[in-house]
A and B are shown apart, each in its own frame.
Chain A
Amino acid sequence: MAVFDQWWAAIQERSVAGTLGFWESIYKEIYLNFISDARYMNYLRGLRVTLIVSALAAMFGLALGILLALGRLSSARVGRFRYLSWAAGKYINIIRGTPMLLQLLIINFGVFGSVKMDKIFIGVITCGLNSAAYVAEIIRGGIQSVDKGQVEAGRSLGLTSSLTMRLIIFPQALKAALPALCNEFITLIKETSILAYIALTELTKAADYIRSRTYSPFMPYIISGLMYLAVVTVLTKVIAALERRLRQSDTGAGAR
């Protein structure tokens, strides 16, 4: 890093005097906000927290979302499951009808108001509970998009209704829902940035911290933004590959 420090030393005096050229001032911004004092580590630590929270929240949200979707579709049932659809519908309505930032603040200052809890845990809970509502609707759409004849075929083969759901309907539903799910996961990654509000040092808060030390108006946000962009781009490519693999069975050319 010595070379970067030398470049900075060469322009530092004129920086204070305010006579830097265009490219020099861009170098100054990058040097102060990324290189000096090993500040890139602040971003990387923040990125790690963002990735951990996103991954755990996505798993939690997917699991809970599937349960909610099944609950919502169980309206025909009686007895034990009678209130399941109603409760799932209400949950989805409340979560989708209120801002996630408010949910976060209520969970942090209300639900866990006087419990010492890891902020990452609170982030996973909040983002997971929120994401579950959206995942539930995506999965429900996927399940309902599967042709009714598939259920009839499964039942006429002697499968129980839950086996039909598990073995025949759900795999097809998941495949149909994959693009929308991908969309939801991308949204989730970016929405973890609201955790900065409860002082969890994820990627956005890391940028806030750097900015409060270097007083640069926006460069830390650009750097954080590029990191989000990189993560989302990689995720998009992975999901696209997965979709291609799943599409093989459509044409009949894939493995049987």
Chain B
Amino acid sequence: MRKTLSLAVGLLIIASLVLAAGTALAAGTLTMGTNAEFPPFEYVEGDDVVGVDVEIAAEIAKDLGLDLVIENMAFDSVIPALVSGQIDIGVAAMTVKPERLNSVDFSNTYYNARQACIVRKDGKVADEETLAGAAIGVQNGTTGDYAAEEYSQTIERYAKALDAVLELAGGKLDAVIVDAPVAQNILDALGNDDLILLDNIAFEDEFYAVAVPKGKPDLVESINKTIDRITQDGTLDAILLKYFPATEGEE
């Protein structure tokens, strides 16, 4: 009896392992890891993950002749998933940073962003000086998180940027630091007049790129080719225009 039982358990374990392995990287597909909490770069619309990054990844997959599969995960899981081989590329509005280069390689950059600081109009933070030591909300592991560490020890790290902004609106945080396009998008979506963007804090320029596991120069090269192509033939501009309607009249 005992033998049969352990045999059955053993078989169950093997079967689940085989099934799990079967769901990992299937041939003929390009699996993209992203965190669909970052509009307009990636967010969920209906049942689908959409956004600037998804369209760029679709172009990359098209040039490689592969089907794009999207894995929606926590932002701080994207690089670990690349390291452990669960996804092929990370396209998640990810800034090229030296710390990240220890774990992954990056393609050429496709977007220039900055951090933005959201505060309450009547709150205590109004400039760089008052930001120091304030209670700052960020999304865990983002460049906003790194930037916040320059200013304060009191950092609350959320899984979603939106949660941090809601806590700010509720008076529980003094500021939220997040990528500027996302900040604008969240503010537009919330329509809360108490929240404003500070424009007097000098954050560094940041460049988004596609993250690729270490040791895959061919993949990096073909992604770079796609990025060059969509930059030159106007596809990238069209994608950006589609998701940043506010900038439409400017060009």
A residues lining the B interface (CB < 8 Å): 16, 18, 109, 113-117, 119, 197-199, 201, 205, 208-209, 211-213, 215-218
Contacts and interface: CB of A to CB of B under 8 A. Distances in A.
B156 A199 contact: yes
Nearest to B145: A212
A197 B140 CA distance: 11
Interface in B210-232: 214-215
B4 interface: no
The listed residue with most A CB atoms (<10 A of its CB), out of B99, B166, B167, is B167
A115 B173 CA distance: 11
Interface of B: 76, 79-81, 83-84, 99-100, 102-104, 137, 140-141, 145, 156-159, 163-164, 166-167, 169-172, 214-215
Contacts of B170: 109, 113-115
Given A212-B145, A215-B100, A216-B80, A116 B159 contact: no
A159 B245 CA distance: 78
A208 B80 contact: no
A103 to B, nearest CB: 16
Contacts of B81: 217
A235 to B, nearest CB: 28
A29 to B, nearest CB: 11
Nearest to A196: B159
Contacts of A115: 170-172
The listed residue with most B CB atoms (<10 A of its CB), out of A113, A197, A199, A205, is A199
Given A116-B171, A215-B102, A217-B80, 7 more contacts: A18-B215, A114-B170, A115-B170, A119-B156, A199-B167, A216-B80, A217-B81
Contacts of B137: 199
Nearest to B101: A16
The listed residue with most A CB atoms (<10 A of its CB), out of B80, B103, B166, B172, is B172
Contact of B83 (A198, A199, A201, A215): A215
Contacts of B214: 18
A213 B157 contact: no
A212 B100 CA distance: 10
B181 to A, nearest CB: 21
Contact of A212 (B76, B84, B164): B76
Nearest to B141: A212
